[in-house]
């Protein structure tokens, strides 16, 4: 009987999902847990926040010039309170007192190491991570598109899928197809009355033999013209194997990038863990090490890592506003305009006009010379007051973004370039970095030492004091990356004058090095690198921007810095963080629609495997939700729709597919009974 059912209702050889219970028990009224907002902010978080705000300001001026009014509007809307919040948070006067009090009360020195979570935790995370990395085949944390990773993963998946979904032998495929096709015809509700997809055996084959998906600038979906309808599903507009390889996600693929690819990816130093579970476990960011990462395979970290900042209203707001441009895989405003070019992109013609995109079209530092670190002008000043309560005053005058390499088509607009850079910078700041303190070139490992003990005191010259921002590498001792070469970029010392906090007795310069993972980059891979949704075109020219051009000059006050070490518990409570919102791009929607047309609703896992296998951040639940919203969107008037407009054509397909599959489900509900009766 089981088989019968399958034959009767299964399309494509997949088992048709059981009919959902019509009566869903009443939804529990769950009250959202109140998320404890922590006031404490680690130093870098705060710095980043401030810097971010500054960047945002910049963004709103020049960069936005090329942005459409609509976009601006959206951005505005999404960041209404950011300035207020941030300003409030960094309010000098308030902070000052608070800090002082904090220090006195807790007798704790300034905590400059955001990642100072204690080694125990780190190790836990590390092990957790390792576990994930090895067992999570569903959501591979390592660079999915690495050849190695991909294949390993594919195998796993294949095996899994095969064993789980092998409901139709290759042999029956043909007859099955015909059978189903006939039914489809009878049903007649299919837009084109085509025969549904074939059998599930496609999976293994797809996974194992399919060449790396093509990645195109705007849509990464391979969209071959439809061929024989009989070979496709009920909505056979595209090839079966169309798989979404959104730059967004597929950015994961260095391996997926083919010569003809015109994807522009960005890789940012701070990697992040893609797995949500992990995220929940971790309060802090950490790096994931990709075992087989090859040199040069830099990955962009995923926005999911941003959580640390996300929590903060300030940051969150900011994020949202920037999400539109995600260095990370966000692509709210992904240039849909570019879509026109994706088809045109071919390996033939322009290949010569653009260089093959490197694994990382855009990445921070970590270049061969490895010399580009983000650096910033820091001035440290020690207070003249002499006592145990003395405070070390530090002021970071500005951040210098590390060397930034960007590859972008010559045809790209200046606006896109700006956005790309913006994203890169944003990603850098928002990534999982931890601050390390260096004194005289030596990293101070003992987080429990007081500044005084360490030699950082108000009475000493802080010439040798430096900070470095590094990825939170899990596999390495908390604050440091062992293998990290003492990489420190000293910035020109600049007299600290703007924000003298207290009667400054002496001013020393400290250098702060933003060292976003460049050091052992080859080992630090983000499971979720994102590519930059930058409009791409036929030719790509390498544009290397002088990092200086990106210098954000947030003259930060000491207070701001000091404001950091307030609460301890903070990050702990940040466990369950909301994932960053990542609007579906048109190409993603297309992939989704296509997959659903073929597989039907109710088989989100398959949809996920089929079309979003590479999009680690898209879970089947996400896809299901998206479908839900798509259906809704399709039903409302265009005026009521928001966000990146989805082509009407797609929406029509959504409705058609939805109608079709709904009908199928309805039928299934009836048939089983009939069959049962017959059998009895």
Q: Which residues bind DNA (CB under 7 A)?
A: 17-18, 20-22, 24-25, 27-30, 32-33, 136, 138, 276, 576, 578-582, 601-606, 617, 620-622, 624-625, 628-629
415/430 with CB nearer DNA: 430
Smallest separation, CB 192 to DNA (Å): 24
Give burial (CB, 10 Å; 0-12/13-18/19+) of 291.
Answer: middle
Nearer to DNA, 442 or 578 (CB): 578
Quickly count: other Cβ atoms within 10 Å of residue 276's Cβ.
16
How far apart are CB 316 and DNA at their closest, in Å?
12
Residue ranges in 90-136 assigned as alpha helix (H): 92-106, 119-135
**Integer Cα distance of 680 and 678 in angstroms:** 5
Rounded least distance, CB 323 to DNA, Å: 9
Is residue 524 within 8 Å of residue 434, measured between CB atoms?
A: no
Q: How far apart are CA 617 and CA 102, in angstroms?
A: 39
Q: Give the shortest CB-642-to-DNA separation in angstroms.
A: 14
Tokens of 470: 């590094």
Helix or strand run (H / E) with residue 396: strand 392-400
Crossing angle of helices 69-78 and 313-323, rounded to 10° = 160
The Cα 427–Cα 269 span in angstroms is 8
Which tokens is 84 given?
A: 């207020």
Structure-block tokens of residue 600: 């039907």
What is the smallest separation between the CB atom of 196 and DNA, expressed in angstroms?
17
Smallest distance from DNA to CB 24, Å: 4
Nearest approach in angstroms of CB 384 to DNA is 49
In the numeric block, which tokens belong to residue 239?
A: 């090839």
Q: Is 101 left (phi over 0), alpha (psi -120 to 50) or beta?
A: alpha
Residues 628 and 318: their CA atoms lie apart, in Å, by: 28
Task: Provide DSSP, 317-347.
Answer: HHHHHHHTS-SSS--TT--GGGHHHHHH--S
Our CB check for DNA shows the closer of 542 and 628 to be 628
Which lies closer to DNA via its Cβ, residue 27 or residue 388? 27
602: alpha, beta or left? (left if phi > 0; alpha if psi -120 to 50): left
The distance of Cα 523 from the centroid of its chain, to the nearest Å, equals: 19
* Residue whose CB is less far from DNA, 354 or 584: 584
Nearer to DNA, 96 or 285 (CB): 285
Q: How far is the CB of 591 from DNA (least distance, A)?
A: 14
Rounded to whole angstroms, how far apart are CA atoms 263 and 534?
A: 8
Min separation Cβ 526 and DNA, Å: 16
At closest approach, how far in Å is the CB of 625 from DNA?
4
Which residues are CB-neighbours of 263 under 8 A, at least 6 positions away?
215, 216, 217, 220, 247, 250, 251, 257, 357, 361, 531, 536
For residue 598, what are its two tokens? 């073929």
CA distance 393 to 510: 11
Choice between 128 and 359, CB closer to DNA: 128
Question: Minimum distance from CB of 111 to DNA (Å)?
Answer: 28
3-state helix, strand, coil in the chain (%, to 5): 40, 10, 50
How many beta carbons lie within 10 A of that of residue 343, not counting itself? 13
In contact, 219 and 242? CB cutoff 8 Å = no
Nearer to DNA, 32 or 225 (CB): 32
3-state SS, residue 507: strand
Q: How far is the CB of 317 from DNA (least distance, A)?
A: 16
Nearest to 252 by CA among 210, 285, 212: 212
Between CA 670 and CA 666 the distance in angstroms is: 7
Q: Would you say 662 and 642 are in contact if contact means Cβ atoms under 8 Å apart?
A: no
- Is the CB of 509 or the CB of 606 nearer to DNA? 606
455 conformational bin, left if phi > 0, alpha if psi -120 to 50, beta if neither: left
CB of 632 to DNA, least distance (A): 10
Shortest separation between residue 137's beta carbon and DNA, angstroms = 9
Q: Do 378 and 511 touch, CB atoms closer than 8 A?
A: yes
Question: How far is it, in rounded angstroms, from Cα 443 to Cα 479?
Answer: 9
Size of the chain in residues: 680
Our CB check for DNA shows the closer of 178 and 578 to be: 578
User: Smaller CB distance to DNA: residue 108 or 579?
Assistant: 579
Q: Looking at beta carbons only, is 144 or 462 nearer to DNA?
A: 144
Residue whose CB is less far from DNA, 414 or 576: 576
Q: How far is the CB of 132 from DNA (least distance, A)?
A: 10
Q: Which residues contact 582 (CB under 8 A, 6 or more apart)?
A: 248, 303, 323, 326, 329, 330, 331, 617
Output 250 or 606, the one with its CB closest to DNA: 606
User: Which residues 6+ apart lie within 8 Å of 192 measured at CB?
Assistant: 229, 234, 235, 236
Nearer to DNA, 319 or 557 (CB): 319
Rounded least distance, CB 165 to DNA, Å? 10
């Amino acid at each position: 009987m089981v088989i019968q059912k399958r034959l009767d209702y299964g399309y494509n050889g997949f088992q048709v999902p059981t009919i959902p219970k019509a009566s869903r028990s009443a939804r529990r009224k769950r009250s959202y847990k109140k998320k404890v907002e922590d006031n404490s902010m680690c130093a870098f978080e705060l710095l980043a926040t401030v810097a971010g705000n500054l960047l945002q300001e910049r963004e709103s001026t020049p960069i936005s010039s090329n942005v459409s009014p609509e976009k601006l509007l959206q951005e505005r809307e999404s960041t209404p309170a950011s300035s207020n919040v941030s300003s409030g948070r960094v309010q000098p006067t308030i902070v000052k007192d608070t800090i002082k009090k904090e220090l006195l009360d807790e007798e704790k020195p300034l905590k400059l190491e955001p990642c100072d979570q204690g080694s125990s935790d780190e190790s836990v995370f590390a092990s957790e991570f390792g576990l994930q990395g090895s067992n999570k085949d569903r959501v591979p944390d390592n660079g999915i598109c690495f050849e190695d990773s991909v294949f390993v993963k594919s195998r796993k998946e294949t095996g899994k899928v095969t064993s789980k979904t092998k409901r139709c032998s290759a042999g029956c495929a043909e007859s099955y197809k015909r059978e189903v096709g006939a039914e489809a015809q009878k049903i007649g509700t299919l837009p084109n009355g085509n025969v549904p997809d074939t059998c599930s055996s496609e999976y293994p084959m797809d996974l194992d033999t399919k060449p790396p998906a093509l990645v195109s600038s705007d849509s990464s979906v391979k969209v071959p013209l439809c061929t024989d309808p009989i070979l496709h599903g009920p909505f056979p507009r595209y090839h079966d194997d169309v798989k979404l390889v959104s730059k967004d996600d597929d950015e994961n693929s260095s391996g997926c990038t083919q010569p003809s690819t015109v994807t522009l990816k960005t890789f940012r130093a701070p990697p992040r863990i893609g797995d949500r579970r992990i995220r929940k476990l971790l309060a802090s960011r950490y790096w994931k090490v990709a075992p087989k990462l090859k040199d040069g395979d830099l990955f962009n970290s995923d926005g999911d890592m941003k959580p640390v900042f996300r929590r903060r209203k300030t940051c969150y707001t900011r994020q949202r506003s920037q999400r539109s441009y995600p260095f990370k895989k966000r692509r709210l405003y992904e240039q849909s305009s570019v879509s026109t070019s994706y088809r045109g992109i071919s390996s033939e013609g322009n290949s010569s006009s653009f260089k093959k995109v490197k694994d990382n079209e855009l990445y921070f530092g970590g270049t061969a010379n490895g010399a580009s670190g983000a650096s910033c002008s820091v001035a440290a000043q020690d207070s003249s007051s002499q006592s145990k309560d003395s405070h070390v005053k530090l002021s970071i005058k500005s951040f210098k973004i590390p060397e930034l390499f960007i590859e972008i088509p010559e045809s790209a607009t200046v606006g896109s370039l700006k956005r790309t850079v913006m994203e890169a910078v944003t990603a850098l700041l928002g990534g999982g970095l931890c601050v390390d303190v260096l004194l005289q070139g030596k990293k101070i490992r003992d987080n429990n030492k007081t500044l005084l003990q360490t030699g950082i005191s108000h009475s000493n010259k802080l010439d040798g004091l430096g900070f470095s921002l590094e990825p939170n590498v899990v596999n390495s001792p908390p604050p440091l990356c062992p293998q990290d070469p003492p990489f420190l970029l000293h910035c020109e010392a600049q007299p600290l004058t703007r924000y003298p906090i207290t009667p400054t007795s002496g001013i020393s310069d400290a250098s702060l090095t933003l060292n976003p993972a460049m050091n052992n980059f080859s080992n630090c891979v983000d499971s979720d690198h994102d590519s930059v949704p930058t409009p791409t075109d036929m030719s790509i020219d390498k544009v290397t921007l002088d990092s200086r051009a990106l210098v954000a000059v947030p003259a930060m006050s000491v207070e701001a810095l000091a404001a950091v070490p307030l609460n301890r518990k903070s990050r702990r409570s940040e466990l369950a963080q909301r994932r960053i919102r990542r609007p579906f791009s048109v190409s993603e929607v297309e992939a989704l629609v296509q997959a659903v047309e073929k597989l039907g609703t109710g088989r989100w896992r398959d949809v996920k495997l089929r079309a979003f296998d590479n999009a680690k951040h898209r879970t089947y639940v996400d896809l299901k939700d998206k479908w839900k919203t798509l259906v809704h969107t399709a039903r409302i008037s265009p005026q009521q729709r928001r966000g990146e407009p989805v082509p009407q054509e797609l929406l029509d397909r959504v409705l058609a597919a939805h109608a079709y599959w709904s009908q199928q489900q309805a039928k299934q509900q009836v048939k089983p009974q009939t069959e049962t009766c017959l059998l009895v």
